[in-house]
Structure 1
Amino acid sequence: MPADIVHLVRHGEVHNPKRVLYGRLDGFGLSELGHRMAASAVQALAGHEIAALYASPLQRAQESAAPWAEAFGLPIHTDDRIIEPTNRFEGKRMDRRTLMHPKHWHLMRDPSTPSWGEPFADIAARMLIAMREAHERIDSGEVVMVSHQLPIWMVHRAVADKRLAHDPRKRRCSLSSVTSFAWSDGAFIEIGYQDPAVELLAQSIDLGAV
Structure 2
Amino acid sequence: MALATVHLMRHGEVHNPDRVLYGRLPGYHLSELGYEMAERAAAYFTARRENGANIVSVAASPLLRAQETARPTAQALGLEIDVEPRIVEAGNRFEGMSDVKKRLRDPRLWSLLVNPIRPSWGEPYREQVARVMEAVSERRDRAVELGGDGAEAILVAHQLPIWVTRLAAERRPLAHDPRRRECSLASITSLDFDGDELVAVRYAEPCADLLAQAANLPGA
* Fold match (TM-score > 0.5): yes
Structure 2: unaligned runs, 5 residues or longer = none
Match of residue 21 from structure 2: 21
**Cα–Cα, structure 1 residues 37 and 51, in superposed 2: closer, same or farther, change >3 Å?**
same
Asked whether the equivalents of residues 9 and 146 of structure 1 are also in contact (C-alpha less than 8 Å), the reply is yes
CA distance in 2, matches of 1:190, 1:17: 38
Of 70, 78, 82, the match for 2:83: 78
CA distance in 2, matches of 1:35, 1:14: 9
Asked whether the equivalents of residues 82 and 151 of structure 1 are also in contact (C-alpha less than 8 Å), the reply is yes
Of 110, 113, 132, the match for 1:127: 132
Runs in 1 of length 4+ with deviation above 3 angstroms? Answer: none
Match of residue 162 from structure 2: 152
Structure 1: unaligned runs, 5 residues or longer = none
Per-residue CA deviations over 1:110-146 (Å, capped at 9, x if unaligned) read 1100001000000001101100000001333210000
Match of residue 111 from structure 1: 116
Match of residue 204 from structure 1: 214
The SS at the match of 1:115 is coil
Match of residue 202 from structure 2: 192
Asked whether the equivalents of residues 26 and 58 of structure 1 are also in contact (C-alpha less than 8 Å), the reply is yes
Asked whether the equivalents of residues 23 and 208 of structure 1 are also in contact (C-alpha less than 8 Å), the reply is no
Asked whether the equivalents of residues 60 and 83 of structure 2 are also in contact (C-alpha less than 8 Å), the reply is yes
CA distance in 1, matches of 2:33, 2:152: 27
Of 25, 29, 49, the match for 2:54: 49
Count of aligned pairs between the two proteins:
210
Asked whether the equivalents of residues 61 and 157 of structure 2 are also in contact (C-alpha less than 8 Å), the reply is yes
Amino acid at match of 1:167: D
What displacement does 1:49 show? 2.3
Match of residue 60 from structure 1: 65
CA distance in 1, matches of 2:12, 2:83: 17
The SS at the match of 1:169 is helix
TM-score normalised by length of structure 2: 0.91
Q: Identity over aligned residues, as a percent?
A: 47
Asked whether the equivalents of residues 94 and 100 of structure 2 are also in contact (C-alpha less than 8 Å), the reply is no
Asked whether the equivalents of residues 20 and 93 of structure 1 are also in contact (C-alpha less than 8 Å), the reply is yes
CA distance in 2, matches of 1:111, 1:187: 30
CA distance in 1, matches of 2:184, 2:88: 17
What displacement does 1:185 show? 6.2
**Cα–Cα, structure 1 residues 144 and 3, in superposed 2: closer, same or farther, change >3 Å?**
farther
Asked whether the equivalents of residues 52 and 142 of structure 1 are also in contact (C-alpha less than 8 Å), the reply is yes
Per mean C-alpha deviation after superposition, the further-off stretch among 83-92 and 200-209 is 200-209
Of 163, 182, 186, the match for 1:176: 186
CA distance in 2, matches of 1:3, 1:16: 40
TM-score normalised by length of structure 1: 0.95
CA distance in 2, matches of 1:181, 1:51: 15
